[in-house]
Structure 1
Amino acid sequence: MKSVHRRASGAKTRARAGERAELRIDALAAGGAGVGRLAGEVVFVPATAPGDLVEVELDRSARPARGRLLRVIEPSAERVAPPCSFADACGGCDWMHVRVEAQQAAHEQIVRQAIARATSLAELPEVRVHPAPQALGYRSRARLFARAERGEVRVGYRAPRTHDVVAVDRCLVLADEIAPLAGELPGLLRGAAGEGDILIAQGASRRPVVEILWRGALPPAVWQLLDQRTASGAWAGARVTLDGARQAASFGDPRPVIQGADGAPLLLAPGGFGQPSEEGAAVLARRAAELAHLDSSRSPHLVELFAGSGTLSVLLARGAQRPPGPAEGAPPAAPGGLASFTAVELVPEAVACLRQNLAARGLAGKVIEADADEAPIPPRADVVVLDPPRGGAPGAARAIAASGARVVVYVSCDPATLARDLGVILRGGFEITDIEVVELFPQTSHIESIVRLSRSRRPRADPGGSAPAR
């Protein structure tokens, strides 16, 4: 079929599948694609920047329609040349072609629009953006992918919208301590069969720790090299989990270690969740603690859900009173302190790290190993802080809405599930007082945000669903 070119302005006829068209990119959407319109219909075009005039090949089978970028006819002022030679092939940094300030503006707009759509609120507080201290070399941890083919192993990131592995021997967003691993791992895994995920991070004394989740076979040389790396002190630790194995094999201490928001070392569970940027995680923790403050004449009871290894806890728990013994009464809370601190986390290894992190700082608090999305909110809870995974916390949102809590601080990595859960909490008698975006993932479309809510009225009997039993 002969290609036909249409301009975005004045095009009245619907383009057919595979047809070429020109359109102007208006904005960036959640997920990273640019958004343009063709005859009034929305078209998503990856690898574009706001203001670009582009030629695309249309795919009308997708909803919304997708456009494969063929060329940039007129680059906008928001487009920059990516500093990384792998940027076009690698799916790791999907916004490296966008000016950093435009990335921040897009993150702000995406969060605001998601909340406005889900809550139907006519007015929202101004979104405060915390820029990243540095746009490159910021990641203290990352997930790589590896695939063995004919005895050689390619290590890198997934190509955009595929499971193909793009081999990367240097990554500009990795911190200096772990950046060499991208080039070192293919040789270490030589002779392996299969594929896997490789989590790299900083461990004790900022030495690398490596977590290998392998689906296939690893030759004896791999195990020997891992032992050598840790025994020599080049790596702090490593851990290997083979698909189907009942137990992981550990070398040295495979737990990641970052500098906590309080300046002290913070242990993370091996293979568990952790923010990508040490400095960004500190900003996030400080803001969560500041927003959790309750201006009250009495010391509040604070509950943290999805506490992980304690990235937020080490600040939230400050001033908490030691739980009384069996024969003791509750001690009076210190001025400006907490009456109590309770953290809920499901993963046992994260719970162990959380307890160790609190103990190392002399912080009091109760740590409960349970599913935070199903845990009841204690009747005396005044403040609830939650940092759920990407899927959000629908159960916790219902429990919070039905609770007596007065302040909620919701930390989220997904605007859509955040907005969904906020709608439930708002129906429980809360109002949004603060919305903030922390630039934890510069060069990417990923967004980390914080929303603070305060109670404006008593909860309804059943806001958006049944609350977990108490």
Structure 2
Amino acid sequence: MTLTFEDLTHEGNGVGKIDGYPLFVPYGLPGEEATVKVVKVNKNFGYGKLLEVTKKSKDRVEPPCNVFYQCGGCQLQHMSYDLQLEMKRNQVKNVMKKIAHLEHVPVHPTIGMKDPWRYRNKVQIPVGNRDGELITGFYRMRSHDIIDDMETCVIQDEVNDRSVHAVRRIANQLGIEAYDEKSDRGVLRHIMVRTGRETNETMIVLVTRTKKLPHQEEFIRQLTETFPHVKSIVHNINDRRTNVILGRKTKVIWGEEYIYDTIGDIKFAISARSFYQVNPYQTKVLYEKALEVANIDKNDVVIDAYCGIGTISLFLAQKAKKVYGVEVVQEAINDAKNNAKLNGITNVEFVVGEAEKVMPEWKNEGLNPDVIVVDPPRKGCEPEFLEAMVEMEPKRIVYVSCNPSTLARDLRILEDGGYETKEVQPVDMFPQTNHVELVALMSRVDE
């Protein structure tokens, strides 16, 4: 059947209608006509498969990745970067209208990258076996079948690509077996590489099922001779039958426990398990935007909820009188304290705990923040946390989000609690994918 695409879903699928019935088709672009096969029909909408584009959009581009249509890690390489940015802004506008019921709040144009490729500073790649040889590559969409003709990933740092190839070559030469998840046998499960964008320091993490890494000394010798910029080689043991990449036990087998990177003027120590943003260029843009709208001065007390390893906290501390960070993960708080020490920043205090429980305790102790910055996981904020935030009555709330829908839901609750949404700024942290980060500014109505 022939279909004309009118719009895009938030996942980047083309939307066409047959007698008012919407059909979602991956890789279709607005304004295009195409031959489509219907593959699934629900009550309110259906799914189609794109067979042939008969009238192309000016925004259709040739994906530079040779496995784009097999991999699924990126969803938008077939569309121009301008359209990607516009799509992300429209997605935010839609949820602000439909979920938050805030039609008139300014949603600014998405801040993109000058060069939206090779931005990821971390790769985690599975290892498999094909005809007795080790292979590395991402899984095919909706499968655990490794795409073995994948020589490069165009959104990964090239150093990470080369490091993965080197590990695979050395492991092959030393006869180290790949892990087989069906039989739960074999050795090497995943290769993880992290690179400091500003420092060029690299950490290589070898994830094995076994407690020992075979030929460890020779492996280290060859790897460090191949890559002099490698600062850390880490062995992680994951002996469970699981899809989780890292196991519980991690040990440094060569070099340092940390590599370092900087965002703006702040230096960060990154371990194998540290949460650290994968696109440091846009992280700087995102945090500078959060700092700008927070409008902090030297007399302000700030709370950074879900503070992680202290990335936003340390940015805020450059301007504020005092910053309090709270985070539920103990290791992250340890990293945050180390990062504060590393930068000689003394006006921050980090606490382990659930933000919704810690904040009422702080309020009872007489802590009255001027600004609260919140950067929750994809599921958004817990209702108790939103309630605690409203009760603390900060002048401003800066909400950093990686999920437009949960952001819109939470903004609605905060609006009903006496706050007004002033502006929303989308930032493209993950070009070529359908993800978008946001910074929203809210002020107390009586301010």
Above 0.5 in TM-score?
A: yes
1:388 is the counterpart of 2:368? no
1:428 is the counterpart of 2:417? yes
1:44 pairs, out of 24, 31, 35, with: 24
1:14 is matched with which residue?
Answer: none
Distance 1:150 1:224 in 2: 25
Distance 2:135 2:60 in 1: 30
1:444 is matched with which residue?
Answer: 433
2:48 is matched with which residue?
Answer: 67
1:258 pairs, out of 252, 258, 261, with: 261
AA aligned to 2:348 is G
1:16 is matched with which residue?
Answer: none
Change (3 A) 1:318 1:57: same
Report SS of the residue matched to 1:162. Answer: coil
Change (3 A) 1:287 1:223: farther
Residue deviations 1:350-380 (CA, integer Å, cap 9, x gap): 2222112212222121101123354325331
AA aligned to 2:438 is S
Report SS of the residue matched to 2:110. Answer: strand
Change (3 A) 1:37 1:369: same
Is contact 1:32–1:94 with CA below 8 Å preserved after alignment? yes
1:349 is matched with which residue?
Answer: 331
1:304 is matched with which residue?
Answer: 304
Residue deviations 1:43-98 (CA, integer Å, cap 9, x gap): 22112222222222213345641112222221111111112222222222211110
Residue deviations 1:214-260 (CA, integer Å, cap 9, x gap): 56788613675257535874522233131346522323335453221
Distance 1:46 1:80 in 2: 15
1:102 is matched with which residue?
Answer: 83
Change (3 A) 1:293 1:91: same
Is contact 1:138–1:174 with CA below 8 Å preserved after alignment? yes
1:220 is matched with which residue?
Answer: 214
Report SS of the residue matched to 1:315. Answer: helix
Distance 2:134 2:207 in 1: 14
Change (3 A) 1:154 1:140: same
Q: Extract unaligned runs of 5+ from structure 2.
A: 182-188, 241-246
Residue deviations 1:363-400 (CA, integer Å, cap 9, x gap): 12110112335432533122111112222222433322
Q: Extract unaligned runs of 5+ from structure 1.
A: 1-20, 320-336, 459-470
Question: Within 5 A, what are the aligned runs for 1:202-221?
Answer: 202-203=195-196, 205-214=199-208, 220-221=214-215
AA aligned to 1:221 is H
Is contact 2:201–2:260 with CA below 8 Å preserved after alignment? no
1:200 pairs, out of 185, 193, 199, with: 193
Cα RMSD for the two superposed structures: 2.7
Q: CA deviation at 1:22?
A: 2.2
Is contact 1:230–1:238 with CA below 8 Å preserved after alignment? no
1:242 is matched with which residue?
Answer: 238
Q: CA deviation at 1:144?
A: 2.6
Residue deviations 1:318-353 (CA, integer Å, cap 9, x gap): 14xxxxxxxxxxxxxxxxx42x21011222332222
1:88 is matched with which residue?
Answer: 69
Is contact 2:10–2:91 with CA below 8 Å preserved after alignment? yes
Q: CA deviation at 1:115?
A: 2.1
AA aligned to 1:113 is N
Relative to the length of structure 2, the TM-score reads 0.85
1:318 is matched with which residue?
Answer: 318
Q: CA deviation at 1:110?
A: 0.5
AA aligned to 1:307 is C
2:2 is matched with which residue?
Answer: 22
Report SS of the residue matched to 2:147. Answer: strand
Relative to the length of structure 1, the TM-score reads 0.81
1:322 is matched with which residue?
Answer: none
Distance 1:374 1:165 in 2: 43
1:56 is matched with which residue?
Answer: 36
2:352 is matched with which residue?
Answer: 369
Change (3 A) 1:153 1:100: same
Between Structure 1 and Structure 2, the one with more helix by share is 2
Report SS of the residue matched to 1:89. Answer: helix
Please, which moves more after superposition, 309-318 or 247-256? 247-256
Distance 1:386 1:226 in 2: 42
Please, which moves more after superposition, 343-352 or 99-108? 343-352
Change (3 A) 1:446 1:349: same
1:186 is matched with which residue?
Answer: 168
Distance 1:259 1:393 in 2: 29
2:154 pairs, out of 167, 172, 185, with: 172
Please, which moves more after superposition, 89-98 or 268-277? 268-277
Question: Within 5 A, what are the aligned runs for 1:112-127?
Answer: 112-127=93-108
AA aligned to 1:392 is G
1:270 is the counterpart of 2:250? no
Is contact 2:302–2:370 with CA below 8 Å preserved after alignment? yes
